Amino acid sequence: MDCIFCKIINKEIPSDGVIYENDDAVAILDINPIAPGHALVIPKIHSENLLGLPDEKIGGVFAAVKKVSEMIQGSLNPDGFTYGVNDRIGQTVSHLHILIIPRYKGDGGTSIHQVVSNKPKESLAEIKAKILKHGN
């Protein structure tokens, strides 16, 4: 497989940016950070997106997100965080990764609600009905 994240996880290529690891995930500092402490939590199992991640791995991956957030909070003291997951659109590496972006007052960032501007044309009730039709 030619996935750079898999190569980092399998130690096929070195990464000086690894800051945390558990049984299910590795956390690295982003090589193109948009804020001090900008990190990625990467599942050890290759999955292009959240829908492909086995249910039994989700807890360990998000435990890593929490732990890394605590580490960043304790060391860099941001005013908050923005968390993100790109799923195909906006994804530069086709391997699921959770972005942890420390936020600082006056950092020029905006709400995650600014990422997309595509207001629905259907009512919430219509959208809810469609979603529930495909539920469990």
85, 88, 92, 102: which is closest to 41 by C-alpha? 85
The number of folded domains in the chain is: 1
Specify the pLDDT at position 131: 93
Specify the pLDDT at position 136: 61
Our answer to whether residue 97 is catalytic in this structure is yes
Positions of the chain with pLDDT under 70: 1, 136
Specify the pLDDT at position 111: 87
3-state DSSP percent of the chain in helix, strand and coil, to 5: 30, 20, 50
CATH number at residue 67: 3.30.428.10
Write down the catalytic residue from 46, 97, 113, 134: 97
Phi, psi of 128 (to 5 degrees): -60, -45
Q: Give the domain range for residue 123.
A: 4-133
Paired tokens of 110 = 């905006």
Task: Evaluate whether 20 touches 68 at the Cβ level (below 8 Å).
Answer: yes
pTM attached to this predicted model: 0.91
Specify the pLDDT at position 117: 87
Specify the pLDDT at position 81: 97
By CB neighbour count within 10 A (0-12 exposed, 13-18 middle, 19+ buried), where does 17 fall? Answer: middle
Specify the pLDDT at position 67: 98
Specify the pLDDT at position 42: 97
Amino acid at residue number 135: G
How does DSSP assign 57-88, residue by residue? HHHHHHHHHHHHHHHHHHHH--SEEEEE--BS
